[in-house]
């Protein structure tokens, strides 16, 4: 329900909302015959309503993310480096029927299509969420299509999350875009697809990026070192996608430079963890404290106390609060943007 009653604020964007054009609700019928022949296709009917913008929105790292695009026909295009190799996925919802129609290209196409239900929230259980605050009840009611995505890919979410540590989102998005475009590879797909799509680098490539290119991308030594350490044990970290939340978080946090904030933000996407509440965040406790108790100075302990009634669904509760856009008025300057790549 985007529009005048649901403005796309920065808080709502952080909640994982991405605008997907209404489009025609049909598959890409304008593709050249040759391009279509090289694609694998699948149709899947979800149980209940699915909103592509809300469900897949958390996977987008900024409006110019080279691994994620939306197109005027109502499609979402996403690239991934799967266990079988790089792949490009295009998914759209048929108008009226509510069927997810997907096409995939590349060596990992079959893996991507097999993962389509999980990606669209098939493993999520929205009925487990019982709103206990008026704001959450209203936000939940207005967004029946919200599902928690599960990519099953840890490094894909872990690297951009590390880039977001202790910097503005604009700085992190710029670094992600530059590194993926420089060290990734062109995405497989049809000639008519979105231009500039890329697949993120593999683990070995992340580990071999020289220090000067990290610097040019605006990434300091602490964050780049954490990513290199993660890349060196990527296979072990990918195992976390099949673990329960406590074990998965422990596996990620065993790597120096990965703390509770980074593990939670990663597992929310890779595992679809409905209870992975983000702690250690600069703004989130104040937003939740203000929305639920009028306390803009809430800390992590106060936030967790307010979210306690939603145990098992605390991440969903936090997302619904962010999507409602009920943030405290700003009373301090924004965090100053920097770019160490210019030094």
Q: What pLDDT, on the 0 to 100 scale, is given for residue 5? A: 45
- Round to whole Å and give the CA distance between 245 and 266: 11
Q: What pLDDT, on the 0 to 100 scale, is given for residue 245? A: 98
Paired tokens of 89: 């996925």
Query: What Cα–Cα distance (Å) separates residue 29 from each residue in 6, 75, 76, 256?
Result: 32, 12, 15, 48
pTM equals 0.91
- Summarize pLDDT for 272-293 with one digit per residue, the tens: 999 999 999 999 999 999 999 9
**86: three-class secondary structure by DSSP:** strand
- Summarize pLDDT for 310-323 with one digit per residue, the tens: 999 999 999 999 99
- Round to whole Å and give the CA distance between 25 and 299: 44
Q: What pLDDT, on the 0 to 100 scale, is given for residue 191? A: 87
Q: What pLDDT, on the 0 to 100 scale, is given for residue 2? A: 37
Closest CA to 310 of 277, 278, 270: 277
- Summarize pLDDT for 158-195 with one digit per residue, the tens: 999 999 999 999 999 999 999 999 999 999 999 888 99
- Summarize pLDDT for 217-249 with one digit per residue, the tens: 999 999 999 999 999 999 999 999 999 999 999
Query: What Cα–Cα distance (Å) separates residue 86 from each residue in 106, 110, 179?
Result: 6, 11, 17
Closest CA to 131 of 267, 300, 282, 318: 318
């Amino acid at each position: 329900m985007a529009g005048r009653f649901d403005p796309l604020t920065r808080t709502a964007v952080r909640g994982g909302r991405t605008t997907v054009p209404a489009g025609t609700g049909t598959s890409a019928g304008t593709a050249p015959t040759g391009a279509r022949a090289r694609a694998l296709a699948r149709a899947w009917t979800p149980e209940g309503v699915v909103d592509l913008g809300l469900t897949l929105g958390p996977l987008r790292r900024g409006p110019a993310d080279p691994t994620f695009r939306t197109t005027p026909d109502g499609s979402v295009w996403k690239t991934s480096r799967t266990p079988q190799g790089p792949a490009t996925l295009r998914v759209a919802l048929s108008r009226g029927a509510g069927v997810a129609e997907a096409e995939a290209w590349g060596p990992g196409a079959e893996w991507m299509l097999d993962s389509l239900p999980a990606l669209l929230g098939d493993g999520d259980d929205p009925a487990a969420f019982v709103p206990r605050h008026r704001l959450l009840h209203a936000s939940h009611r207005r967004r029946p299509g919200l599902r928690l995505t599960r990519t099953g890919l840890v490094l894909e979410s872990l690297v951009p999350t590390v880039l977001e540590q202790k910097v503005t989102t604009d700085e992190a998005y710029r670094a992600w875009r530059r590194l993926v475009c420089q060290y990734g590879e062109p995405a497989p797909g049809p000639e008519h697809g979105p231009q500039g799509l890329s697949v993120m680098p593999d683990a070995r490539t992340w580990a071999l990026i020289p220090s000067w290119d990290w610097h040019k991308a605006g990434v300091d030594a602490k964050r780049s070192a954490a990513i290199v350490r993660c890349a060196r044990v990527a296979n072990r970290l990918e195992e976390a996608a099949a673990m329960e939340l406590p074990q998965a978080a422990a596996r990620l946090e065993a790597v120096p430079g990965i703390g509770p904030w980074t593990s939670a933000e990663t597992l929310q996407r890779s595992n679809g963890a409905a209870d992975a509440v983000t702690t250690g965040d600069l703004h989130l406790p104040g937003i939740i404290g203000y929305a639920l108790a009028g306390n803009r100075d809430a800390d992590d302990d106060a936030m967790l106390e307010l979210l306690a009634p939603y145990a098992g669904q605390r991440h969903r509760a936090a997302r619904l609060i962010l999507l409602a856009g009920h943030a405290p008025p700003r009373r301090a300057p924004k965090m100053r943007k920097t770019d160490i790549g210019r030094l």
